[in-house]
Amino acid sequence: MKNETGDAHYQKAAVAIEAARHITVVGHLNPDADAIGTALGLWWILKGLKKRVDVVFVSTPLPQVLSFLPGFGKIKHQIDPKSDLIIGVDCGSFDRLGIGRIEGSMLINIDHHRSNTFYGDINLVEPHFASASQTAFRLVGIAGWDVPKNGAVNFYTALVSDTGFFGYESVGPGVFDFAKTLLELGADAEWTARMLRENQPLSKLRLLPKVLETLTLYLGGRVAGLKVTLDMLKSSGASIGETEDMVNYARSLATVEVGFLIREEPDGGLKVSLRSKELVDVAQIAVKFGGGGHIRAAGFTVYGMEQDLLVDKLLKILQKEL
């Protein structure tokens, strides 16, 4: 498979969507706001085409901080085998969708990750975009489909979350043009910011001090690491999704260039989140461990490796990068 970004390729995807009878929009495991917001944004738009549309995220539970998103309560956790068109959003590889192939169904891959493997029958991947919602919106614009207010709300949430409220280096004039369009379509900047920043569950605030107690500095203070254990999650009552942005505390230290967080997974794996400021391409590091992501934000999961050994391997790579 290969990636094509010309308008004709988007038109091909639009034709396939308009011809489909039962569409399922699915995002990656342990989804974030970009995945859920992009998927639900498309859901509202495709419903306007009078299509049967499902949104599926295999992971449970979903991050409740995003429960304000219109349509959140309609998300399913199992794909209907009668789906004749699958749309994967914000996901770099097929295995990260957590679903099996459905014989006879077409797969459209909508993403913005540079590490995308082009796993779809049609691949709409824009690595220079700041959010998967931008790629989805380009499709919508080329197809000429109407965008209802609820679709704009979801896309806007995806955009501001994946740009760190317009603070990451992926932000350029096109991002602000996109945001302006979404606001004109009915998204509310103040309300969205309040929902994302001031809508945290008590369990997350109980978990945070436990995680910060594990803060460790490495390589002369240029690298900081955090850990989340299953016992921490159990004692605080927090879900896995509530840890997603905690790695940013490691990166926020003045001397730190790279922050990482290692989280124990229920299946025995170790999920590593990586963040950098300006010198290190953490996506390239994640790829070495079978993961991927963006230049300043990436991640991977390993199995059968002791945590101390994982930290040692990671630090050896980071020492060379720094």
- pLDDT for 110 equals 98
Helices (H) and strands (E) in the chain, counts: 11, 11
In the chain, where are the structural domains located?
7-197, 202-321
Q: What are the tens digits of pLDDT across the range 35-79?
A: 999 999 999 999 999 999 999 999 888 988 899 999 999 999 999
Give 240's pLDDT tier (boundaries 50, 70, 90).
confident
Q: Order across the sheet with 52-56: list the strands.
A: 52-56, 22-27, 85-89, 106-111, 122-125
Q: What are the tens digits of pLDDT across the range 149-173?
A: 999 999 999 999 999 999 988 899 9
Q: How many CB atoms lie within 10 A of CB 228?
A: 25
Q: What are the tens digits of pLDDT across the range 296-319?
A: 999 999 999 999 999 999 999 999
- pLDDT for 14 equals 98
Q: Are 136 and 314 in contact (CB under 8 A)?
A: no
The span from the CA of 27 to the CA of 168, in Å, is 23
CATH class belonging to 7-197: alpha beta
Threshold 0.85, pTM exceeds = yes
Q: Are 45 and 147 in contact (CB under 8 A)?
A: yes
Q: Are 124 and 10 in contact (CB under 8 A)?
A: yes
- pLDDT for 168 equals 86
Q: H-type helices in the chain, by residue range?
A: 7-19, 33-47, 132-143, 149-162, 173-184, 189-197, 202-212, 230-236, 247-251, 282-288, 307-321
Q: Which CATH number fits domain 202-321: 3.40.640.10, 3.10.310.30, 3.40.50.20, 3.30.720.200?
A: 3.10.310.30
Q: Are 219 and 322 in contact (CB under 8 A)?
A: yes
- pLDDT for 6 equals 86
Same CATH topology for 7-197 and 202-321: the answer is: no
- pLDDT for 1 equals 66
Of 302, 218, 220, nearest in space to 260 by CA: 218
Mean pLDDT score of the chain: 95
